[in-house]
């Protein structure tokens, strides 16, 4: 639970484009991973060869070339992930580097290790369409292995391992292609789920906004419309009634404007992409800054659903407005706790208090319409609101909703 002490103070993105962009980023990440893994494996193989090599300068040059080229490739992909779309250019450059490694290693283990990494790189970029490239690399590997075996005449027990090395590239490439395909499929499924959730949230937001407009502005405008329709017929026959109707139209227009402004302000209370605790803290901070009344908050890091958090934010805002209008309080406490799947929001003050009737609708006649509205919001969120108050002993508004 977080304690907050507040004192007075002064482009449209579609699922398809999102999926393509994420797929590009994932491909770039996989390519960087393949490059780094290949560099590490090749450097290890070259280091092992360094212990037995007769010409160590060639091996040192190989290690330097490996470090420089890998660093350059990884840096370029980090700055411009779109480079993965230039598959032919990337693979052509890599083929040239493979020949450089072949010349420097003289067909040693470092070459076969680097070749396996090149096959994996092709698998990431082309998928199984890289099969012709894998076949060419395998043939090249067998030719290099045959030349090495003929030149060094190794023991018979070593020859099978050398001849099997070219096949490692095929296996590595197929594994990389399958892994890339699986990750891409999972990525598209995730994007589809996110898009579905966004559409559902948008539908809920539209329904909620429609309900808010119906319950406030629409009703007021309907009354204004009825008064305006009756006004022309009353001008000659009943001037006094016409004057009253004109006053009703003017008052209704002002009321509709105020309700629309309140509705807009209410929509701005909650910022869905921010933690809900920050939303409550912002409401409290604005209130205590305006009223000069200190407030203390104890807020659990709960994240209710979008409709629930909106209703809770409106309830908290209205409860504090009631304290400002009616309580004459010198201190306010706000708690938000989450226990066993239930969120509880409590707003307490040390103000003058009042006698709570059994039926909250009776408060409509006593200037406490805000409590009735809060109770309705609690029901919309699937919960219930309770009011506890004693004259001279403050008031507590408590709402419980599913988390």
Which pLDDT tens digits describe the chain residue by residue (403 residues)? 544 544 444 444 444 555 566 667 777 888 888 888 888 888 888 877 666 655 678 888 888 888 898 898 888 888 888 888 888 888 898 889 988 888 888 878 888 888 888 888 888 888 888 888 888 888 888 888 777 777 766 555 445 556 667 777 778 888 888 888 887 777 777 767 766 665 665 556 565 665 655 555 556 666 656 566 665 666 666 666 656 656 666 666 666 665 566 555 555 566 667 788 888 888 888 888 888 888 888 888 878 887 788 888 888 888 888 888 888 888 888 888 888 888 888 998 888 888 777 766 656 555 556 777 788 888 888 888 888 888 888 888 899 988 7
Element (H, E) at 158: none
- How far is residue 389 from each of residues 288, 293, 356, measured CA to CA in Å? 22, 19, 6
Quote the tokens at residue 397. 């508004």
* pLDDT the model gives residue 111: 85
The structural domains of the chain, ordered by start, are 15-194 (no CATH), 273-402 (3.30.565.10)
- The b-or-e profile of 220-235 (16+ CB within 10 A means b, else e) is bbebbeebeeebeebe
- How far is residue 18 from each of residues 12, 87, 164, 187, measured CA to CA in Å? 10, 21, 43, 10
Determine the Cα–Cα distance for residues 116 and 42; give it in Å rounded to an integer: 10
Judged by DSSP in three states, 402 sits in: strand
* pLDDT the model gives residue 9: 45
* pLDDT the model gives residue 56: 75
Cα dihedral 204, 206, 212, 218 sign = negative
Quote the tokens at residue 242. 């016409």
User: In terms of Cα–Cα distance, which of 267, 255, 261, 187 is closest to 224?
Assistant: 255
Query: For the whole model, what pTM was predicted?
Result: 0.47
User: In terms of Cα–Cα distance, which of 318, 314, 276 is closest to 297?
Assistant: 276
């Amino acid at each position: 639970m977080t304690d907050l002490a507040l004192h007075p103070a002064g482009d449209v993105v579609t699922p398809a484009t999102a999926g393509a962009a994420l797929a590009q980023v994932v491909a770039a990440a996989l390519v960087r991973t393949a490059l780094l893994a290949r560099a590490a494996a090749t450097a290890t193989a070259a280091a092992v060869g360094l212990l037995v090599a007769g010409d160590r300068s060639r091996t040192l040059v190989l290690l330097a070339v490996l470090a420089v080229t890998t660093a350059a490739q990884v840096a370029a992909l980090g700055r411009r992930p779109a480079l993965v779309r230039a598959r032919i250019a990337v693979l052509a450059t890599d083929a040239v580097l493979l020949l450089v490694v072949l010349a420097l290693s003289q067909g040693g283990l470092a070459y076969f290790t680097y070749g396996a990494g090149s096959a994996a790189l092709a698998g990431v970029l082309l998928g199984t369409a890289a099969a012709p490239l894998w076949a060419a690399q395998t043939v090249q590997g067998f030719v290099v292995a045959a030349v090495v075996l003929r030149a060094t005449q190794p023991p018979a027990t070593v020859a099978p391992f050398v001849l099997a090395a070219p096949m490692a590239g095929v296996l590595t490439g197929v594994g990389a292609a399958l892994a890339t395909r699986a990750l891409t499929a999972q990525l598209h499924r995730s994007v589809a789920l996110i898009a579905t959730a966004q559409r559902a949230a948008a539908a809920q937001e539209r329904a909620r906004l429609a309900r808010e407009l119906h319950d406030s502005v629409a009703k007021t405008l309907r009354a204004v419309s009825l008064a305006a329709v009756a006004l022309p017929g009353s001008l000659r026959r009943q001037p006094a009634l016409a004057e009253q109707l004109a006053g009703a139209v003017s008052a209704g227009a002002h009321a509709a404007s105020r309700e629309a402004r309140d509705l807009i302000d209410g929509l701005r209370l909650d910022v869905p992409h921010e933690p809900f605790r920050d939303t409550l803290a912002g409401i409290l901070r604005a209130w205590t800054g305006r009223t000069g009344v200190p407030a203390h908050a104890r807020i659990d890091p709960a994240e209710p659903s979008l409709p629930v958090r909106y209703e809770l934010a409106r309830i908290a805002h209205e409860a504090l407005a009631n304290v400002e209008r009616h309580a004459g309080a010198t201190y306010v406490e706000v708690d938000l706790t989450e226990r066993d799947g239930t969120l509880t929001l409590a707003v307490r003050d040390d103000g003058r208090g009042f006698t709570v009737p059994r039926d909250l609708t009776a408060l409509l006649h006593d200037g406490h319409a805000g409590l009735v509205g809060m109770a309705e919001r609690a029901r919309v969120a699937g919960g219930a609101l309770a009011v506890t108050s004693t004259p001279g002993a403050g008031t507590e508004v408590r709402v419980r909703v599913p988390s």
